[in-house]
Amino acid sequence: MKNRILALIAVVLLLSIGIFAEDILIYEANFDKTDDRSVDWDPVVGDWEVYDGGLSGYDLSNTNTIASQELEQLGDHVFIYEYKVNYDISGGQWSPAAGLHFMASDGYDVNRGESYLVFQDYGRVQLYRASAGTLTHVTQVEGYPAIEGHPSVIRVEYDVKAGIIDVYLDGNSVLQWVDPNPIFDGDFISVRTNMTAVTYDYIKVWVRK
């Protein structure tokens, strides 16, 4: 009897952990008729449009295009960002290249104010941190190139309280970095390209409390 009670308690605890660790979808852009009014991307720099189920950027000459979405990111939680990007056309030496700023304080600034940037280019996946007007490269992993004509699904899990950032590419863990001075809140997410025509099929954000 005692063993059964202990087993029951263990099951209840596991179920409780599962409930409290639930990932809650707080933002979803599919760039089609399923989107609600909160989906409102502002094309700040470069040629952007929502077309045929995607957010498409056509600028092959600009090294830092900007399209931004207001999104409050607040609290000591884990924020999860996932997007699918198609690298349509390469236009320069470092392309194809594109990514996403998250926890951004400014959707219109060249480096999005205080922010993190996950970025994939012709040879690697990289992570940057923007602060005080400077974009600093913090880590990268080679051998995961952006390929013209081939989509990538990138997922970032950011534990605000611990400052831990985990990056996944097509379901595989590729890099981790710990920020000793983590950003605790943000007001925007923002896409960025470098001399590349791209299409973002979807962009989603969850919070794990």
CB 41, CB 189: distance < 8 Å: no
Better-predicted residue by pLDDT, 8 or 147: 147
Kindly report, residue by residue over 63-121, the tens digit of the pLDDT: 999 999 999 999 999 999 999 999 999 998 889 999 999 999 999 999 999 999 999 99
Q: What would the two tokens of residue 78 be?
A: 């884990």
Supply the mean pLDDT for the chain. 92
Enumerate residues 6+ apart whose C-beta is below 8 A from 129: 115, 116, 117, 135, 136, 138, 179, 183
Say which residue the tokens 């299409």 belong to: 199
Q: 1 pLDDT exceeds 80?
A: no
| Predicted pLDDT at 4 | 54
Query: Which one, of 21, 16, 41, 39, lies nearest residue 207 by Cα?
Result: 21
Model pTM greater than 0.85? yes
CA dihedral 86, 91, 97, 98 (to 10 degrees): -60
Flag whether pLDDT at 14 surpasses 90.
no
Angle at CA of residue 57, ends 177 and 198, nearest 5°: 60
pLDDT given for residue 11 in this prediction:
40
* pLDDT value at residue 92: 87
More confident residue, 87 or 4: 87
The stretch 186-194 carries a mean pLDDT of 98
Span between the terminal Cα atoms of the chain, in Å: 35
**Minimal CA–CA distance to 66: which of 42, 30, 93?**
42
- Token duo for residue 139: 């880590």
What pLDDT digit, counting tens, does each position of 144-179 carry? 999 999 999 999 999 999 999 999 999 999 999 999
Q: What is the pLDDT of residues 37-51, one digit of tens each?
A: 999 999 999 999 999
Would you place residue 16 in the very low, low, confident or very high pLDDT band (cuts 50, 70, 90)?
very low
Whether 97 contacts 91, CB under 8 Å: no
Contact 81, 155 (CB under 8 A): yes
Q: What is the pLDDT of residue 8?
A: 43
3-class state of residue 202 by DSSP: strand
Annotate 2-35 with three-state secondary structure.
HHHHHHHHHHHHHHHHHHHCCEEEEEEECCCCCC
Q: Which two tokens stand for residue 131?
A: 């602060």
Q: Which domains are seen in the chain, by residue range? A: 24-208 (2.60.120.560)
Helices (H), 75-166: none
